[in-house]
Structures are given as structure tokens and as C-alpha cells.
Structure 1
Amino acid sequence: MTGALTVRVLSGLTELSLTPPLARAIWGEDDGPEDPVLLQVLQRVGGLVAGALDPQGQVWAYLVGLPTARADTQHSHRLGVHPDVRRQGLGEQLKRFQQTWCLERDVTRVTWTFDPLLLANAHLNIHRLGAVAVAYLPNYYGAMAGINAGVPSDRFEVVWPLGGAHTHAPWPMGPAVDPLRDDLPADLPGALALCVPRDYYRLLREDPALALEWRQRSAPLFSRLFQAGHTLVDVDLSRGQYLFRRTAC
């Protein structure tokens, strides 16, 4: 990749046709990317397909946003960055582009899902953008291929209000819950910190059995927290921890 990347709406089938090979580079050769013609139709009916392009017109990251039954809400279906250009803030750039694009069209909130054990994704979604994880969806996509193969496709559902200031809640004192060795307390506190793996995709590649154990042991804890009225409101990247707080009635 040479030259600075520009984030903008992808235009026409020529540019949209660059997304399937990019999807396979991001999520694996077995991944089922979106059909470019379908993406063109999606744009026509009010959806968003944006990308980060180099001066030669190559797409290195992309985002797909779907219209929903609510006029004020878009659902963010895909966001991916090529492995060669990660850790450059492209994910956040695409989300901020989406934010501006939506607000210009009176769309005031965006929803999406993400893997509960992907710490870096959670940090972007929750800590930097100010989204809140409001639900836990066990095995939401069923059996998956590519880099997600081998474990249930559990997901957090996220809501991102696009207007207003984002503030970080104070973290509770005391040790965090480690799903591999701890259970949740019988009497759940209003705020609770919970540990997650530092790099779940690496764990899935190098120790699939441990990755599966993380999924199996964390699932009932996440489920109970959301059922009890907690939401995921912050992420500490350095400590590898999530902050859950009980939602006020």
C-alpha cells in the first residue's frame, strides 16, 4: 500500500467489486462476502457502503450499513480492515464517517454486533465511540467459517447514540471476575469488572481448546449480567477488562 488512504462512499460496481477479495483477506478464504450487485442495490435503497482507498483506487477497509425498520436507526453489518493496515485507526475513521453520513440524513443511532471476546473491538466500540452493549446473543450466526470457525458465534448487540457527549463511568474497586476461574457473585453488584482474553483470534489459532473454554465459561456470565439489567459501558485495554453496570430503571 502506497500513499494516504481516503475514506469515502464506494461508487459503482467497479469499486464495490473490490470488497469480496478484501473480505476474504480479512476473515478468511472461506468467508462468504456480500455480492457487489447487492451492495449497489443496498446503496440505492438507503444503505451505506464506505471504504478506505489508496491513491491507486485499492480498497483497504470497508463498512456496510443497512437501513432498518426505524427511520432513525442504521444497522452496521460489516466493518473490516486489511491485516496489512491495521493499528492505523481506520476502523474508527470508518465509524466516524458513518456517524457524519447518518447524522446528515437524520439517522441518530447505529446498531451492530461484535464478538464478546474481542478486546480491541470492544475498546473501539465502547470506550472510544461511546456505544453500549445492551444484549447478549448466543451463537447468533450459527457455525461460521474463516477466522471465526471452531467456536459458537456468540455476539454482543451494541447501540451507538450519535449525538451528545460521551463520558466514562468510574470503575469499581476490587478484583475483576475471571471467567476461567470465577463465577459471578450470587448478589450482583451495580458495577462489576470482568476479564477477557488479550487477543482472542490469536488464541483461537494457537490454542483452540482454550479459546473454546473461554467461550463456554464466559457465555453464562454474560447471559446472567444482561438478564439482570447490566450493560457493557466501558473497556480497559491495558488491563483486559470490561465494565458492566446495572441500567437505571
Structure 2
Amino acid sequence: MFTYINIILLNPADPAWHRTIDQLWQQLGAPHNPDLLPPHFVKSTFPRMGGIVATIDANQRLVGVGLLFPRAIAADGTRSYTLRLHEFDQQLDDDLLRTAFHPVPVVIYRPRDGQTFAPPAPRPTGVWIGPPQADDLPAIAALYRAVWNSQPYPTDLFSAEFGPGTALVATVDGQLAGFLLGFFRFGGAPYPSDELAIESQVMAVDPVYRGHGLATRLKRAQARAALARGVRCIQWTVDPLQLPNALLNFNRLHAVAGAFVRGYYPVQNALNLVTASRFLITWLPASAHGRRGLVDGGERLALADLPGVAVLNDGPQPLPAPDDPPAIAIAIPPDWTALQHRDLALATAWRDATDALFAAWVGWEAGKYVIYAVARDTAGNHYLIGRPAGPWVWEE
């Protein structure tokens, strides 16, 4: 038993950040250790939501790695964390860990601690949304592999002991058809960092059951649960060129995109053959705008109905734009995934052109635009629509 341990909090701004995470994950048994979270999440989203990676040393050697997940914010502003712990040779003493992390309050959690889920019970016929049961976990992992063809997020993250921000499944006639997992985060634009929010991290719907509106139902259930516990902001990331996601996020849920990051994820897979750029989506279901997403009635906008809108591109070709237009329209391809597989050079041109437009035009600050809808022109082309940033986003 160790009598002293040393904690080092890693800095994601370090130029060696990505390499350090890869090295730690290899030491922890990646890619064959099912308890590990995907490294692209740890490198990208985890620090942005207020998470911290810590190494734990004893006797001048590495004895553990911890992920500090945001958990709560006390009335005095103190932040507490769930310490998801990966140990090497032996279990570390909990009191020793709490002392080493002091004054940061931590709830110590090991992946094997995740044992409590919803009690076993039959689900009703038709579509049902609710918390997962232990028997759902293999189907959740299988669905993730089927959708992303990669190692799934550890299913213990759905447990009561871990305490996720969101843990939901969708069933159709008793069969698992989708799931949604989210974490707590510290802050979420346009709200300050001293307010607890939710990072809606991963959602999947079985292709067999698409057309039932399961993604919309899962997101709405997440929002209602968040509002019930006083959480006003839900964030997630999305590829801005994926039309189905844009229609869901903007036209049905009435979320917005006020931030953009080129090359957000250091990953390449069947859905990301080119640079994995992302919008940072914000849904404020307590706001007048965001509240419209809690009920049916998604908008079907026509480009011709937007007076003064400035169309900023023709496919991958940028177009000249006037100063300070009342609205902007950025064309996106009809099937981004298929385009990447059919014509990689053209897909790269689309990505580079739209990345430049998003970087120049999208933002929360004065003079920038917030994406809030998808519109079509008479030829059937789709455009992301933005209006000047301002209080219309968050006014309740």
C-alpha cells in the first residue's frame, strides 16, 4: 500500500497533448481495454466541457490515470468532479486519493462500480423513451459498433453510480432502437462557466427504426429532464455538412450554432474521410426560441421567403457578399457521407470552402451570425441560415 501519491493535472494546451493521451491509452491497454473512453473524445470534447485528465504517481512511477468529469457546482461556486479511475497494479486508497486531490472535491468512481440501472421491467408496445436497464447494455454497445464501426463508449457510464447528465434508451415494441448519453459540463455558451450544463455526447438510432422520430424524442426527453433539474443549456458537436443532423438540430429542435472549430476531432473513419470539422450546437430549451423545439411543428423554410439573405457559396465556390446582410445562407451538399466516398477531391473542396465561410461568419460576438435553420431553394438545394448574433438566442 502506498503512503503517498502525486497528482499531475495535464494541460490540453500543451503541444504534446494528443501524443500524451495516445501514450497513456496505450499503457492502459488501448484499443483492447473496454473501460477506456474513445481517445478522440478525451482529446477534444472532454477538456472543452471542463474535464481534466490527471496522472497519478507513486514511488516515481505511474500507478493510475484519472478522468475528472464535471459533476456539480455548489452555491458558493465550488466545482466538484467524478473521478473515473484507471489503476495499474493495485487499487489505490480512497482517502489517500481524496487527500491528494484536495482542495478539489472528487467522488471516486471505478468502472466496475457502475452496477445500478433502472429496475427490470417490460417496456410497452410502440415507442418508449426512458432510462436503461442492465439488460440493455449489450444492445447499446452493439448498436454503437454498427453505427460507428469502432469501440463503444463504456456502458458503465449509463449507471447511477457514475451519474451521467443523460442516460436514455428508446425502444420500439420492447426492442432497443436507440440511445442517448450525455455528461455534465461547466458552462455552455452563451451562459457563463459557473452554470452547470449538459454535453450531449453520443446518440444512435438503429437504421431499422429510423422514421419513428426517435432522435427527436430522445433529445426532447433529455431537454425536459434537464429543465426539471434546473439545467438550461445542452450542447453537442455536429458535422455542419450533414443535412439530416442539420434538419433535426435547427428546424425541429430549434437549437443554434454559434461556434465552429475546424478539425475538431483528430479522427478519420467512414463518416470522416476529410477533416472532421464541427459546429458547437447549443440548445436553450428554456428560451423563447429553443422552447419551440419541445413540441412538434418543425419549420420548412424557403430561401425565397428570406428577404435580403446573402448566399455565400455556390457549391464549393465562394460568392461575393454585401456588408452586414440581414441573413446569410451557406449551401451544403445533399448527402455528405456519400460524397466523401464518391469523390474525395470534391468533398475536400466542399470542406475547405465551407470551413472558411463558417470561420469568417459564425460566432456569438457582435458582427457574427448564429446558424438557426435550414432552407431550400426552388432547385431543391439546402442552405444553413444564419442571423446576427444577439439576445434573441437566450431571451426567456
- Please indicate the TM-score interval, normalised by the length of the shorter structure: 0.7 to 0.9
Matched, 1:47 2:165: yes
Matched, 1:94 2:211: no
Q: Secondary structure at the match of 1:123?
A: helix
**Aligned-pair distance for 1:233?**
1.6
**Aligned-pair distance for 1:186?**
6.3
**Aligned-pair distance for 1:184?**
4.7
Q: What do the CA deviations read for 1:107-147 (whole angstroms, capped 9, x no partner)?
A: 112111100001121111111111110100111111232x3
Partner of residue 241, structure 1: 383
**Number of residues of Structure 1 aligned to a counterpart in Structure 2:** 241
CA distance 1:21–1:195, shift in 2 (3 Å): same
CA distance 1:188–1:38, shift in 2 (3 Å): same
Higher relative contact order (CA 8 A, sep 6+): 1
Matched, 1:153 2:271: no
CA distance 1:76–1:142, shift in 2 (3 Å): same
Q: For 1:139-218, list aligned pairs within 5 A.
A: 139-145=263-269, 147-166=270-289, 171-173=306-308, 176-177=311-312, 178-185=314-321, 187-218=323-354
Q: What do the CA deviations read for 1:159-199 (whole angstroms, capped 9, x no partner)?
A: 11112433779723467332412235263423111211111
C-alpha separation in 1, matches of 2:320 and 2:284: 29
TM-score (norm 2): 0.56
CA distance 1:55–1:87, shift in 2 (3 Å): closer
Matched, 1:32 2:151: yes
**Structure 2: runs of 5+ lacking an equivalent:** 1-124, 188-194, 293-298, 392-396
C-alpha contact (below 8 Å) 2:266/2:276 kept by paired residues: yes
Instruction: Specify the structure having the higher radius of gyration (Cα).
Output: 2
C-alpha separation in 2, matches of 1:155 and 1:208: 19
**Structure 1: runs of 5+ lacking an equivalent:** none
Could you tell me the percent identity over the aligned residues?
28
Partner of residue 136, structure 2: 15
CA distance 1:115–1:194, shift in 2 (3 Å): same
| CA RMSD, Structure 1 to Structure 2 (Å) | 2.4
Whose strand fraction is larger, Structure 1's or Structure 2's?
Answer: 2
CA distance 1:55–1:207, shift in 2 (3 Å): same
TM-score (norm 1): 0.86
Partner of residue 256, structure 2: 132
Q: For 1:225-236, list aligned pairs within 5 A.
A: 225-226=361-362, 228-236=367-375
C-alpha separation in 1, matches of 2:157 and 2:389: 38
